[in-house]
Homo-oligomer: A and B are copies of this chain.
Amino acid sequence: MYKDLVEKLVQKNDSRILLAVIDGIGDISVGELGGKTPLEAALTPEMDRLAQGGALGVHIPIARGITPGSGPAHMGLFGYDPVEYQVGRGVLAALGVGFKLKHGDLAARINFCTVNDKGMVTDRRAGRITTEKCVELVGMLTGIRIKGVETFVVPVKQHRACVVFRGAGLNDDIQDTDPGLVGLKPVPVTGSDKSHRIVQEFLRKAEKILKDLHPANFLLLRGFALHREFPLVDERFGLTAAAIALYPMYRGVASLIGMNVMKSDPQNLSGQAKAVSKALDSGHDFIFLHHKPADSSGEDGNVEAKIEAIEEFDRALPSILDSRLDVVCITGDHSTPCPMKLHSWHSVPVLINGGPQRTGYSTGFSERQALSGAMGSFMSTDIMPLLLASAGKLAKFGA
């Protein structure tokens, strides 16, 4: 409703904000925990301390009852309306491996697959070939030339790669060729406009190159998506933002809105903590830190692993909390309840520590305490304004 209001009120200052996302942190009552959630059951002295000195609330990722994928859920956390700013899988895959997409590029995910002599798919992942093999196959496909576009093929991991077509007038209204099941032929690309003809030619040429390379003797295309440039987090919120995420997809979403993706070496929370310090050294005033394992263990239904993922983050917190940070927010992008083994629509606890807050409402960080926290319930897109305000980065509206 108040689109652009926040942007108009942004005022820069030296305050520094950390947005730490524990992916899929929210959960529901778990029988084996006596009805507690993993977050309630986890020992989290550091987050509890921040909760006591800060303010809690819950956010609704997209809308009531709507379960988000990771892309839209993160767009919401970054203050971007997740329905207005939709990102296709092809674009996310290309961005995730650091490919510099341009406005109008058409991207799709590639799965190398196995087909039999009748052209039917017998393995949609080509026996999960090694990443080395993937790089080799991509090298062969890189030779493909199609008139009217530049074609880029980029390896991702194992049987996964992506393809990007660059040229004028492309569209992404193209069906997946992945039949979704083995025993079926790939879905033919039947349109006749420029985009369809380019994809048809790419498939013909790829087929010739791959046909004798069993098990990866063909490929499937999924998630066609046109890249459109989004307004940058700097332009919208006056932030110099850094992203510290170990998984390509989250780096991809962050880079889409102009966050600088920091390297984390080693690839764990202690490496991420060092990257926070480096990001502050290099002048960033907004840091997005992403912690994945809570989501993965939720999807596995592994309650113990989810508790451990949360506790691992809590133990790492002292090393992450650089003294130069003024406002710290800890939340999740969505809930991934262990009993469901899926993302869900349930609200997500939010903790903000730093800046002027109503404190003393909460003794610890949990779904239940967040629901009766000082900040109440709000949409995920409200988090960015709340962080900017807490950091003194939003001017008064009206006189």
Candidates B28, B68, B384, B389; contact of A345 at CB < 8 Å: B389
Nearest CB on B from A28, distance (A): 5
Q: How far is the CA of A82 from the CA of B6 in the complex (A)?
A: 14
- Number of residues on chain A facing chain B (CB within 8 A): 69
Candidates B68, B367, B382, B394; contact of A67 at CB < 8 Å: B394
Q: How far is the CA of A357 from the CA of B37 in the complex (A)?
A: 11
Is residue A268 within 8 Å, beta carbon to beta carbon, of the partner chain? no
> With A345-B389, A377-B376, A377-B377 in contact, is A64–B396 under 8 Å at CB?
no
Q: How far is the CA of A35 from the CA of B53 in the complex (A)?
A: 10
Is residue A398 within 8 Å, beta carbon to beta carbon, of the partner chain? yes
> Do residues B67 and A378 form an inter-chain contact, with CB atoms below 8 A?
no
> With A87-B398, A398-B72 in contact, is A386–B65 under 8 Å at CB?
yes
Candidates B1, B89, B399; contact of A70 at CB < 8 Å: B399
Is residue A69 within 8 Å, beta carbon to beta carbon, of the partner chain? yes
- Chain B residue nearest to A59 (CB atoms) is B64
Residues from chain B with a CB closer than 8 A to the CB of A29 are: 357-360
Instruction: Kindly identify, within residues 1 to 15 of chain A, every residue whose CB is under 8 Å from any CB belonging to chain B.
Output: 1-2, 5-6, 9
Instruction: Kindly identify, within residues 332 to 360 of chain A, every residue whose CB is under 8 Å from any CB belonging to chain B.
Output: 337, 339-340, 342-347, 356-360
> Do residues A67 and B28 form an inter-chain contact, with CB atoms below 8 A?
no
Instruction: Kindly identify, within residues 247 to 264 of chain A, every residue whose CB is under 8 Å from any CB belonging to chain B.
Output: none
Residues from chain B with a CB closer than 8 A to the CB of A389 are: 65-67, 344-345
- Chain B residue nearest to A347 (CB atoms) is B376
> Do residues A66 and B6 form an inter-chain contact, with CB atoms below 8 A?
yes
Contact digits for A358-391, partner B, Cβ 8 Å, 1 yes 0 no: 1111000001100110101111001011111110
Specify how many copies of this chain sit in the oligomer.
2
> Do residues B63 and A382 form an inter-chain contact, with CB atoms below 8 A?
yes
> Do residues A378 and B343 form an inter-chain contact, with CB atoms below 8 A?
no
Residues from chain B with a CB closer than 8 A to the CB of A368 are: 358, 361
Residues from chain B with a CB closer than 8 A to the CB of A63 are: 2, 5-6, 382, 385
- Chain B residue nearest to A72 (CB atoms) is B398
Instruction: Kindly identify, within residues 58 to 113 of chain A, every residue whose CB is under 8 Å from any CB belonging to chain B.
Output: 58, 62-73, 81-83, 86-89, 92
Q: How far is the CA of A68 from the CA of B35 in the complex (A)?
A: 38
Candidates B5, B66, B89, B356; contact of A397 at CB < 8 Å: B66
Report which A residues bind B (CB closer than 8 A).
1-2, 5-6, 9, 28-29, 35, 37, 58, 62-73, 81-83, 86-89, 92, 223, 337, 339-340, 342-347, 356-361, 367-368, 371-372, 374, 376-379, 382, 384-390, 394-399
3 A-B pairs closest in CB distance? A65-B385, A64-B382, A69-B398
Provide a sorted-by-A list of 10 A–B residue pairs whose CB atoms are within 8 angstroms.
A37-B358, A64-B385, A65-B384, A67-B389, A67-B395, A69-B398, A343-B396, A344-B356, A347-B376, A361-B371
